[in-house]
Amino acid sequence: MKIKAKSKSGQLEVKVKLSSQDIDFEELDLICRVFVRGFLKPSVYKKSIIEYRGTEGVALKKHLKKLLSKYEFLFIMQQISMAAATVKRSGLHQSRLLLECDNIYINEATKELQFIYLPVTQLQHNPDILTFMKSVSNTVKPMCDNGDFDFVSRFMYFLSSMDVFDPLKIQKYIEQEDSRVTKLTARSETAKSHKALDGITPVPKSKSASGENQQSDIVCSDPTELLEHTASADDREVTSTLLLNEDETALLEDEDSTQLLNEEESTELIHYPTLIRKSTGETILIDKPVFRLGKDKSCVDYVISDNNTVSKSHADIVVRKEHYYVLDLNSTNKTFINKRLLPAQYEVEIFDGDTLMLSNEEFTFSV
């Protein structure tokens, strides 16, 4: 197995070369069709190479050479635990989650990790999750946190007391050490994203007349998720939204819990807001739980066709009951609320009367 990673136009591209005999094509088809936050998404398969795309980042191994605060260390540990738990809950193989610091990537601005799930029948020399968390902890250089140098050694001692991996115990421990970490991850927990896997059935492998498995050049079955090889680098953007099944018409949550509602129930609870576009005076109704804005009419809900500085898929407006959030989708010219720059891939709450800007395109948000 060979892995090559590079950053290009604000996104991360990772190419994994495998033996075609080792690839589980049913799993590959499944993870191509479903996005789970915290995981690099396979976009193209061709000639035994799986190409993954995600937010720009550096290898975790490189980042761990720096001093880490207690908060950052615990945030990294929490994300590793959540990734393994998500894989297990989704019915996938925990042993296929690639646990190598060279091939886990971190956005150094947001500290968000991105993992690779390899749909292979055999993955050699991959450690179990507890062994990996111990090895990562052992390489960390702790930064003094209000006189506390021992937060890493305490965590390692805690891990050594566990016979089997238990993400709930790990979460409880981290919450006792710093509740800010679990509050942050609870709002964007990848465990919520795994619900998108429910009801998705992998496409069976097709057979040739000789009975051999057929391999198509591209196996991702949702055309909106494919990244075209022929597009220029500037036109390639990462789509990072939770995919909902037709039956999952609304995924509404508060900070402490997640509840899946049907269409009739969600209509009663959601109060949809509007945007007023300054340049035209147009009123835009945000009429769905995740409403996308951008210039590509094939994949957005409101098209901004007359402003070339707006990205194809620029930003999402996310509606959860009476709370509203803006999610920048790695746009080229960024997203702002009241002239405040939003970090990519993180939901930021927006309120009645706020000014939203996609690049230099201005809107007034109204409830």
pLDDT tens digits, 328-363 = 998 999 999 999 999 888 888 999 999 999 999 999
Mean pLDDT of all residues in 100-129? 88
Amino acid, res. 365: F
pLDDT tens digits, 207-245 = 333 334 444 333 343 322 322 232 333 333 333 322 323
Whether pLDDT at 260 is above 90: no
Q: CA angle at residue 191 from 91 to 268, to 5 degrees?
A: 115
**Range with the poorest average pLDDT among 30-44, 98-112, 131-145:** 30-44
DSSP-based helix, strand, coil % in the chain, nearest 5: 30, 25, 45
Whether pLDDT at 123 is above 60: yes
CA distances from 42 to 135, 162, 216, 225, 239 (A): 27, 33, 14, 9, 12
Distance CA 70, CA 244 (A): 36
Q: Sign (positive/negative) of CA torsion 56, 49, 240, 36?
A: negative
Give phi and psi for 42, each to the nearest 5.
-65, 130
Distance CA 290, CA 250 (A): 9
**Range with the poorest average pLDDT among 5-14, 177-186, 334-343:** 177-186
Give phi and psi for 328, each to the nearest 5.
-75, 130
Neighbour count for residue 267 (Cβ, 10 Å):
12
Q: Sign (positive/negative) of CA torsion 344, 366, 296, 36?
A: positive
Distance CA 316, CA 240 (A): 10
Would you state the torsion angle of the CA atoms of residues 20, 23, 26, 30, taken in this order, to the nearest 10 degrees? -110
Whether pLDDT at 250 is above 90: no
**Which tokens go with 194?**
């795994």
User: Kind and range of the H or E element at 364?
Assistant: strand 361-366
Q: Sign (positive/negative) of CA torsion 44, 50, 55, 57?
A: negative
Distance CA 301, CA 295 (A): 10
- What is the three-state SS of 245-311? CCCCCEEEECCCCEEEECHHHHHHHCCCCEEEECCCCCEEECCCCEEEEECCCCCCCEECCCCCCCC
Q: CA angle at residue 331 from 277 to 323, to 5 degrees?
A: 60
Q: Give the residue from 71, 66, 91 showing the smallest Cα distance to 178.
A: 71
The whole-model pTM stands at 0.55
